[in-house]
Amino acid sequence: MAATPYHRENLAAAIQQRARQELDTNGATDLSLRQLAKFLGVSPAAIYRHFPDKAHLLAVLRADIVAEVTTTLHQGVLDSPDAETMLTRMVANLLTYAQEHPQAIAFILTGPLAAPQSLQTVLALLVTQNGLTEAPAALTAPVWTFLLGVLCQPTQELSVSWVVTQLEFLLGIPTSYGDKNL
């Protein structure tokens, strides 16, 4: 039977919520619409009325997770006018999210993931504040690619300072850490 009662109008939300819990626990591969129906105490047909197949449900979940990552990425970033502090905060947010939601990160990395506007904004400020000659738009792709690569290292304990130092090196910004951390 269902762990929590639902009403017809919120079954889709209950399906998404339970599917997200399953994804966070077991990953997308083990997600089963029939198991969701069983857990929610509804027939599989009720699930299929809202989500015609697993791919559709996964697409909805992926969009939700990408939005969540984007929101998390820029939390607290504007608390400082310093672009390097903003970048450090973004990296800290991203690494914290990845540590707390490794299955969600693994899931969204299975498809294309556009660089968030907040990263482009911070990079534009970095260029201005550090007198760099590179166009901010040209920096976004390599920085985002590096950050996505960092997310692909789930067994590695990467510190925020190490990631920021690598980004500063990539961008050509002198760092206070020197070459010893490269």
Say if residue 139 is in the same domain as residue 81. yes
Distance CA 182, CA 179 (A): 5
pLDDT digits (tens, 9 = 90+) for 11-62: 999 999 999 999 999 999 989 999 999 999 999 999 999 999 999 999 999 9
Say how many domains are in the chain.
2
Say if residue 117 is in the same domain as residue 170. yes
Residue 165 lies in a domain: yes
pLDDT at 134: 87
pLDDT at 136: 87
Residue 59 lies in a domain: no
CATH code at position 24: 1.10.10
Say if residue 164 is in the same domain as residue 79. yes
CA angle (137 as vertex; 133, 143 as ends), nearest 5:
90
Helix axes 83-100, 160-171, angle to 10 degrees: 130
Token pair for residue 40? 């929610």
At 176, the pLDDT band (50, 70, 90 cuts) reads: low
Say if residue 47 is in the same domain as residue 82. no
Token pair for residue 163? 């990631």
pLDDT at 102: 92
Residue 60 lies in a domain: no
Q: What is the average pLDDT value for the chain, to the nearest integer?
A: 88
Q: Is 94 exposed, middle or buried (0-12, 13-18, 19+ CB in 10 A)?
A: buried
Which pTM was predicted? 0.85
- For residue 180, CA distances in Å to 23, 95, 169, 176 come to 39, 22, 12, 10
pLDDT at 155: 58
pLDDT at 105: 94
pLDDT digits (tens, 9 = 90+) for 50-109: 999 999 999 999 999 999 999 999 899 989 999 999 999 999 999 999 999 999 999 999
Rg (CA), the chain: 20
pLDDT digits (tens, 9 = 90+) for 112-164: 999 999 999 999 999 999 998 888 889 999 999 999 999 888 656 789 999 99
Residue 3 lies in a domain: no
Residue numbers of the domain that contains 140: 65-181
